[in-house]
């Protein structure tokens, strides 16, 4: 409907030389779905930097695991207490004598290394190759001499044009 009305206006005004803009309809935009190369790790709708070797992503931060024998508990690693009976001689390596006949290890807790900063700063997804972003959606490139605003490509007016921003003619792709 709009196309027919615009063509009628063009035919009425085709003698005027001040109608300079070409519109090309490029379709409805799509949602960006690709993570940029600098932030390849996807976390929900956002993209993050790759965590360093030995750590893993937990929401927006990178966390390192616990040493052997320790159990993860939120941001800490916990080694439970262990006691055994030994009345003579030395305790095993890592154990300490607590009474005349017992050796004990633990409990021991230490904080896990958590990386914030550049590893926590997300980026939004980007458009795949061959598309450009406008208002958060992906559209086909308009081509040389045109600029896109949403689903429409507008022809750039020459700088010496007497009047700008009028329709010249409509082309539906």
**Residue-level pLDDT at 26:** 64
43 and 115 assigned to the same domain: yes
11 and 68 assigned to the same domain: no
157 and 78 assigned to the same domain: no
Decide if pLDDT at 10 tops 80.
no
Tell me the HSE value of 35 on the side-chain side, using a 13 A CA sphere.
Answer: 16
Question: How many structural domains does the chain have?
Answer: 2
The alpha carbon torsion through 42, 45, 46, 48 (nearest 10 deg) reads -10
What pLDDT band is residue 5 in, cutting at 50, 70 and 90? low
How confident is the model over 73-118, as pLDDT tens digits?
A: 778 888 888 888 888 888 988 888 888 888 888 888 888 887 777 7
pLDDT averaged over the chain? 76
Decide if pLDDT at 7 tops 80.
no
- Alpha-carbon distance of 92 to 167, in angstroms, equals 89
> Containing domain of residue 51, as a range?
35-125
- Alpha-carbon distance of 29 to 142, in angstroms, equals 13
- Alpha-carbon distance of 137 to 58, in angstroms, equals 28
**Residue-level pLDDT at 2:** 46
Is-contact 65 57, C-beta < 8 A? no
Is-contact 173 3, C-beta < 8 A? no
132 and 115 assigned to the same domain: no
The average pLDDT across 55-73 equals: 84
**Residue-level pLDDT at 30:** 86
109 and 47 assigned to the same domain: yes
117 and 41 assigned to the same domain: yes
108 and 51 assigned to the same domain: yes
Decide if pLDDT at 17 tops 70.
no
**Residue-level pLDDT at 167:** 47
118 and 135 assigned to the same domain: no
Q: Which residue has the tokens 């095993």?
A: 92
68 and 102 assigned to the same domain: yes
6 and 69 assigned to the same domain: no
Share of residues in the chain with pLDDT > 70 (%):
75
120 and 54 assigned to the same domain: yes
101 and 164 assigned to the same domain: no
User: What 3-state class would DSSP assign to 42?
Assistant: strand
- Alpha-carbon distance of 79 to 77, in angstroms, equals 7
The average pLDDT across 121-138 equals: 87
């Amino acid at each position: 409907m709009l196309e027919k009305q615009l063509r009628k206006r063009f035919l009425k005004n085709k003698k005027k030389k001040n109608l300079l803009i070409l519109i090309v309809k490029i379709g409805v935009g799509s949602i960006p779905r690709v993570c940029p190369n600098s932030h390849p790790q996807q976390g929900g709708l956002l993209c993050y930097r790759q965590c360093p070797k030995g750590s893993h992503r937990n929401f927006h931060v990178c966390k390192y695991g616990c040493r052997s024998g320790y159990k993860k508990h939120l941001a800490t690693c916990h080694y439970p207490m262990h006691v055994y009976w030994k009345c003579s001689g030395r305790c095993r390596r890592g154990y300490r004598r607590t009474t005349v006949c017992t050796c004990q290890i633990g409990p021991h807790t230490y904080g896990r290394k958590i990386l914030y900063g550049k590893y926590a700063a997300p980026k939004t997804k980007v458009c795949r190759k061959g598309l450009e972003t406008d208002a958060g959606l992906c559209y086909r490139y308009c081509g040389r001499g045109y600029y896109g605003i949403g689903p429409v490509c507008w022809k750039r007016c020459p700088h010496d044009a007497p009047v700008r921003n009028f329709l010249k003619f409509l082309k539906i792709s």
